[in-house]
Structure 1
Amino acid sequence: MNINPKTNPQRDAVLLAQQTRVVGPNSALMRNYKDSLPNLDLFQLGLCVGVLLGDAAIAPNQAVTQLTHRLKFEWGGKNQEYAQHVYDMLSLYCLTGLRTQVRVNAKNNEVTTWCFQTVSVPAFNILAIAFLSGGKKVLDIHALADMITPVSLAYWFMDDGGSVMNNRYTLHLHTQGFTHEEVLALCGILKNKFDLDCWVGSKASKKHKPFIVISGHSYTKFFQLVAPHIIPSMRYKFPTGSRTQWQD
């Protein structure tokens, strides 16, 4: 697993200066830091694709000279270890740490979540091609067909996947935020690229919003693809049994 370094000299300089003053977005320190940031490596790109297929968000920042993008993340209060892990993988692109926030959810309940966001830089522009249109989260299936990797599948599942209690090795990917056409196309990628037997499901209790069902017949294949990238705290999402063998 690739471990992204948490600091670089330009980032350290900005963080040090921020202890005593506000560092403006157009300051020399900030420009030097952002200019020092590399493109995402293949592991980071796969991770970002996976979490954006989950609940992460991408937002544009139209600067005077160029269009850049930033990523925003938020997870439930029980997912601190996973949130910290994703932060560590992308911390080079962050000037603030992982933090908690308290907000009121759609059911009018007060909840505590873990969140962070990156700075806005060209490194994330490649993700906007696949996930953003007209300022909204819209899938470009042609771009995603090339970008989804086993790393993406692992983070997608950790973000928004789970097993089906009454069908031991059947898995779900919760894609209710996407259109039926987008989810159907995602199934096509999983079938054509990874040879996974899957289909679009829906439930009246979930307002018939679409989700992906991965057949138990494809469980071993799916597990072998993603297992090297699943962190220990997220293994609970997988069914126990002879076909789930973790290599520690």
Structure 2
Amino acid sequence: MKNFKTISEYSLKRYFNKSLKLDSYKTDYRLNNLPSYLHETLTGVLLSDGSLERPSLSGGSRLSVNLGEKSLPYILHLHNLFEPFIDTDVSMVTVKLEEKIHTTVRFKTISTPFFSNYYEAFYPIIHKNKKIVPKNISDNFTEVSLAHLIMGDGNFFKERNMIRIYTNAFTHEDVLKLSSVIKNNFDVNNDVFKDRENQYIIRIQSPDLDKTRNLVLPYLHPSMYYRVGLKTNNENFDYKKILDRV
């Protein structure tokens, strides 16, 4: 177990006692460090549409993912990956905004002390709990993380044959940091482009498109191939190729 400095002893005992009453495989997941694949996945998800909620500073944190209805196959995939930490099904929420009906799909995990370590990295108090790109992101950002970043915030611009990653929620400094990590970790050239006032995106242009595809395709859910400009007739993810890492 990691050293959870900010989790109260009461919260840890309560979490452990509840975990010990579950099916053995869920207990194993909930009482041990995240497997490498889930760690790398969570990093990418938190850099895109995932968020962490921490109701109490003395307790654990839970992962929340909320996407548009079109992303249902992908969110079901994430639900499968994090299923040992989930006690509820994927839910659908429909709201009416400006005479248009919008449907989102979402899920939340249980609160766990493991996710509070990520909360402290992505939502530091010094930034008033606003999500940032962590300082040590280069140590944790892998091909799996890049795949989930693209599945969450990627867009293929056919006219320019490029992948655009909509990192608008982060500061210019954070986007530059993430851009540098993509270059340094994978030798993928990219640039930071001003999308609108105080909002910046990352562009991976044609010369590095095939290299990027080769990096992320093993980890892309087939329903998300269009994010890198590819088509697929298969909607099922092959979990066999990642079994040794989950």
Q: CA deviation at 1:27?
A: 9.3
What's the counterpart of residue 180 of structure 1?
Answer: 172
Cα pair distance change 1:147/1:33, threshold 3 Å:
farther
1:103 Cα offset (Å): 2.8
Q: Which moved more, 1:158-167 or 1:81-90?
A: 158-167
What does 1:103-114 correspond to in 2, within 5 Å? 103-104=95-96, 109-114=100-105
With the length of structure 1 as denominator, give the TM-score of the two structures. Answer: 0.77
Q: Does 1:144 align with 2:141?
A: no
Q: Describe the superposition over 1:70-128 as per-residue Cα deviations: whole angstroms up to 9, x where unpaired.
A: 111111011111110000000110111111012356x6743111001011111213322
Is residue 122 of structure 2 the alignment partner of residue 131 of structure 1?
yes
* Pairing 1:54–2:48 present: yes
In structure 1, what residue type is equivalent to 2:117?
A: I
SS of corresponding position for 1:62: coil
Structure 2 spans left out of the alignment, 5+ residues? 1-13, 232-237, 239-246
Residue number in structure 2 paired with 1:209: 199
Q: Please point out which of 38, 51, 68 is paired with 1:44.
A: 38
Deviations 1:179-208 (Å, cap 9, x if unpaired)? 1111011111111111111111123xx445
Please, which runs of 5 or more residues in structure 1 have no aligned partner? 1-25, 242-247
Report the AA paired with residue 18 of structure 2.
M
Indicate the percent of aligned positions where both proteins have the same amino acid: 27
Instruction: Give runs of aligned pairs for residues 1-248 of structure 1, distance below 5 A.
Output: 30=18, 32=20, 36=27, 37=30, 38-62=32-56, 66-104=58-96, 109-134=100-125, 136-168=129-161, 170-203=162-195, 206-207=196-197, 209-240=199-230
SS in structure 1 at match of 2:136:
helix
| C-alpha RMSD of matched pairs (Å) | 2.6
SS where residue 95 of structure 1 aligns?
Answer: coil
Distance in 2 (CA, whole Å) between partners of 1:130 and 1:218 is 30
Distance, in Å, in 2 between the alignment partners of 1:179 and 1:92 is 33
* Number of residue-to-residue matches in the alignment: 212
